[in-house]
Amino acid sequence: MDGVTSRPVPTRPVPARPFALPNLLTYARLAAVPLVAMVLFFLEGDIKNWLALAIFLLASITDYLDGYLARAWDQQSTLGRMLDPIADKLLVGATLLMLVADQTISGWSLWAALIILSREILVSGLREFLAELRVMVAVSRLAKWKTGVQMVALGFLLAGEAGNAACGCSTSVGLVLLWIAALLTIYTGFDYFRAGLKYVISEQVP
């Protein structure tokens, strides 16, 4: 489950390290957001699906690598901590919106996309509030699974008609996984708010 714990403010600020490799990977993920959107908007046919999927997969890999390398090389920074979740949410949000625009996500599945987007916005607001109270948010294993399922779902959906032609199931599998991600989103989001609600209600400063 997601948890919320307090931590003291560091006596010395962590350097920004704007040109450290983990931050460069985060910049690449940010750059992937408009690239995916432009590919889905301007291109047609199988090339659209495969190119958008390739960019999305590369961006998703950087999401793992930047955090891993930052820890392994002791290159964690305030800049990286700020940009990493922003890049993740922009990538997911932009991809969902473009898939809705081309009607890959439609009908009842729109609700799954809305749940995911709403949770990301609400949790971001709560994170900002808790940060002012010097409260650290611990990400649970289930929340990481949610993110993984979400990324796989978007990958299948980006494959779209090209994926359907290759395996006959790309879109349907993607929509099922999108609903699973939405259900996990509801659960982890509720647990997150339950953990942080005491600070919102009582305005306690840990």
- 136 strand-pairing partners: 5
What pLDDT, on the 0 to 100 scale, is given for residue 166?
82
Per residue in 94-153, pLDDT (tens digit) is 999 999 999 999 999 999 999 999 988 887 777 777 766 666 666 677 878 888 999 999
Nearest alpha carbon to residue 16 among 103, 80, 62: 80
SS3 labels along 137-189? EECCHHHHHHHHHHHHHHHHHHHHHHHHHHHCCHHHHHHHHHHHHHHHHHHHH
Task: Please answer whether residues 38 and 91 qualify as being in contact, where contact means their C-beta atoms are separated by less than 8 angstroms.
Answer: no
> Does residue 165 lie within any of the structural domains?
yes
Per the structure, how many domains does the chain have? 1
> Does residue 10 lie within any of the structural domains?
no
Task: Please answer whether residues 168 and 148 qualify as being in contact, where contact means their C-beta atoms are separated by less than 8 angstroms.
Answer: no
Q: What is the CATH number of the domain that holds 29?
A: 1.20.120.1760
Confidence of residue 66 (pLDDT cuts 50, 70, 90): confident
What pLDDT, on the 0 to 100 scale, is given for residue 50?
95
> Does residue 2 lie within any of the structural domains?
no
Its domain, for residue 166, covers 17-202
> Does residue 27 lie within any of the structural domains?
yes
Provide the 3-class DSSP secondary structure of residue 114.
Answer: helix
Q: What angle do CA 93, 59, 74 make, to 5 degrees?
A: 110
Distance CA 91, CA 20 (A): 21
> Does residue 104 lie within any of the structural domains?
yes
* CB-CB neighbours of 76 under 10 Å: 17
What pLDDT, on the 0 to 100 scale, is given for residue 200?
65
Nearest alpha carbon to residue 6 among 142, 143, 195, 202: 195
Nearest alpha carbon to residue 79 among 11, 10, 15, 123: 15
Residue type, 181: A
> Does residue 3 lie within any of the structural domains?
no
Between 4 and 36, where is the model more confident?
A: 36
Confidence of residue 15 (pLDDT cuts 50, 70, 90): low
> Does residue 6 lie within any of the structural domains?
no
pLDDT over 60 (residue 1): no
> Does residue 7 lie within any of the structural domains?
no
